[in-house]
Amino acid sequence: MNSSLEQLKTRFTQALVTAFGSDFTETDPMVVPASNPKFGDYQSNVSLSLAKQLGQKPRLIAEQIVKHLEVTDICQTPTIAGPGFINLTLEPAYLTQQLNTIQIDPRLGVERTKQPQRVIVDFSSPNIAKEMHVGHLRSTIIGDSIARILEFQGHDVLRLNHVGDWGTQFGMLITYLREAYPDALTTAGALELGDLVAFYRQAKQRFDHDEAFRGASRKEVVQLQAGAEDSRRAWQLLCEQSRREFQVIYNLLDIQVTERGESFYNPLLPAVVQDLERLDLLEEDNGANCVFLEGFTNKQGQPLPLIVQKSDGGYNYATTDLAALRYRIQQDGANRIIYVTDGGQANHFAQVFQVAQRAGWLTEEVEVVHVPFGLVQGEDGKKLKTRSGETVRLRDLLDEAIARSQADMATRLKEEDREETAEFIAHVAQVVGLSAVKYADLSQNRTSNYIFSYDKMLTLQGNTAPYMLYAYARIQSISRKGNIDFEQLGADAKILLQEETELVLGKHLLQLGEVLRDLEQDLLPNRLCQYLYELSQKFNRFYDQCPVLKTEEPQRTSRLGLCDLTARTLKLGLSLLGIQVLERM
C-alpha cells in the first residue's frame, strides 16, 4: 500500500509537469510531514525553490501548482500560506479507508522493498579470551535492530560476527598457559572465561616486560599459522570456551548472528597483497608494504600509508578487513555492506574502503556504510566503568537491569496489593530489564554518547521501554475486561474517526511505513523509537478521552479496532528493535 506521502509526491509531480512542462518530471516536490499540526498534515515549499528558475513569485507558482493538483480523494482543499507554502490536510474518509485496509494486513500496510538486496551487517565482534563488556553493547543492539528492519523490508541479510580470534594474542596466551595451566590447552571447559581473562592479563604483562617470553609467544604464533596440531587444538579450545560464554549473552538478548572471525580470512591475506602488488598500488616504506592514501596526511602533511604487510612479513587488521571486504563482494555477492562499530574507527574504514575502490573490488554497484556510534557513559559523564575503574562486564550490566526491574516490580505489586507467581514475576522482570537496556540505547541518536542510568531507563514514564510495554499491556487488559478476542473482530470491524484524538491516533498509525523506509536508508533506529513513543502518547490520550468498552455501537467496535491496530503496531515496531512485548505487567 502506497503511503499518503508517496501518493502526494506523485500527485505533486503530475501537477508540476502539467503546469510547467515535462522538464519538471524529476523535480523533487518537497512534500514533507507538517512541522506544526496547525499547518495540516503535509507541507510543500517547492514553489519557493522554483522561483528563480521560473522567474515568478513563489505564491503565483504555488497557485498554479494547486490549480492542477488532483488530491480531492486524499486531502481537503489545499491552502497556500505566507510567500507560497502549500499546506495539505488529509480527509477523514481517506484515513478511515487506509486504516481499514491495513487492519486486515499482517504487515500493517508496510510494503516489501521493490529492489531487494543482499546485505551484510557486521556487528558485535567481541574478542576471544576476553569477556564481552559494555563496549560491545551498542554494536550488538544497534546491529541486530538494523538487521531486523532490513529483513522485514525484504532484504536478504547476512548477520556476521567478525570476532577477534587470530593474531599475536593467541601466541602469547597459549605460551603462558603451557606453563601456568596446561590442562586448558587439552581439555574442553577446564577454565571459566573469567579465569581465562585473568590469565590473558598476566600473559600480556609478561609479553610487555619479558623479552624471552615475547620471543616464545611469536614462535607460537608462527606454529599456529603453520597449522601445528597441538597449537591448533589449544586455539580451538580457547575459542570454543569464549563462544559458549558469548552465546549465553546472545541468547539472553535474543541475538542471531553468524560467526566468521578473523581466522576465516587468514588464508586469503597473501592474495590481497598480491592483488595490490599486481595493480602497482603497493609501495615499500621502512620495509613494510603500504598503500599511500589520498586525502589522509600525517602531522608533517605527507601522505599517510595504510600498512597491509608488516616489515616482518606479517599482516594486520587492515589486511584482514581488506580480505573480508573482498570476500564479501566477490564470494557473498553483497550489494550493501554495513559495519556497526564505534565512531573511533571511522578513519580506519574510510582508508580500507579507499584501497578497495582503487583495487577495483569495490565498485559503484556495491554500497559500503560505516554505522558509527558514541560511548556509553556513566552518570558522571565519563566512560562507564566499575567502581574499581574496570570496564563493566556486559553480563553484569544485564543481570543488574533484571534485578532492579524485579525490585521495582515487587514494590509496585505491594502498593497494588497484588499477588503473582514467582514465574510471572521473573519473566516480566527479565523482559522489562533487558528491554529497558536495549531501548535506552536505541532511542538515542547512535552517533552521540549517552548516559547509562538504570533509574531513567526503568521508569514507566517518558521515552522508555516500560512506557511502551505498559501501553501494549493496557490494550490487552481491555481485551480481558471486555472478554474481547481482537482476532475475531474481523473485516467487518470498520474504524470510524469522529473525535480529534481518534484522528490524531489514526494518522500516526499510517506513518509506520514512511518511518521504516527512511530508516532503511539512514540506519537510525532512534527514529523508530520516537515513532513508537509518540504512538504510545497518542494512544494514551485517546484512551483517556474516548471510552472504549462503555460506548455504544458502532463506536465501540471502531475503538476496539483502533486499540488492536495500535497494539499490533507497537508489537511489530518493538520486535524490529529486538524487544518482546508483555500481555500483562
DSSP track, 120-170: EEE----BTTS--BHHHHHHHHHHHHHHHHHHHTT-EEEEEE--B--SHHH
**What pLDDT is stored for residue 452 in this prediction?**
92
**pLDDT bucket at 1, cuts 50 / 70 / 90:** low
CB-based contact 109:98 (threshold 8 Å): yes
CB-based contact 581:572 (threshold 8 Å): no
Topology adopted by domain 400-576: Isoleucyl-tRNA Synthetase; Domain 1 (1.10.730)
Q: Tell me the pTM.
A: 0.93
Cβ-based neighbours of 510, under 8 Å, separated by 6 or more = 3, 4, 95, 98, 99, 102, 109
CB-based contact 15:32 (threshold 8 Å): no
Q: What is the pLDDT of residues 28-39, one digit of tens each?
A: 999 998 888 888
**What pLDDT is stored for residue 493 in this prediction?**
75
Element of type H or E holding 538: helix 526-545
Average of per-residue pLDDT across 317-343: 97
CB-based contact 319:265 (threshold 8 Å): no
pLDDT > 90 in the chain, percent: 74
Average of per-residue pLDDT across 315-332: 96
CATH number of the 4-90 domain: 3.30.1360.70
**What pLDDT is stored for residue 492 in this prediction?**
67
Q: What are phi and psi of 33, to 5 degrees?
A: -55, 140
Q: What type of residue is 41?
A: D
Closest CA to 146 of 569, 508, 532, 516: 516
Quickly list DSSP for 199-249: HHHHHHHHHHH-HHHHHHHHHHHHHHHHT-HHHHHHHHHHHHHHHHHHHHH
Q: What are phi and psi of 491, to 5 degrees?
A: -70, -20
- Annotated domain spans of the chain: 4-90, 168-251, 400-576
**What pLDDT is stored for residue 386 in this prediction?**
67
Highest mean pLDDT, choosing among 13-17, 202-206, 362-366, 381-385: 362-366
What average pLDDT is seen over the chain?
92
Grid cell 562486564 is found at: 393
Closest CA to 246 of 164, 321, 149: 164
**What pLDDT is stored for residue 388 in this prediction?**
67
All three cell numbers of 297, joined, read 596526511
**What pLDDT is stored for residue 134 in this prediction?**
87
CB-based contact 99:91 (threshold 8 Å): no
Rounded to the nearest 10°, the torsion over CA 377, 381, 382, 387 is: -80
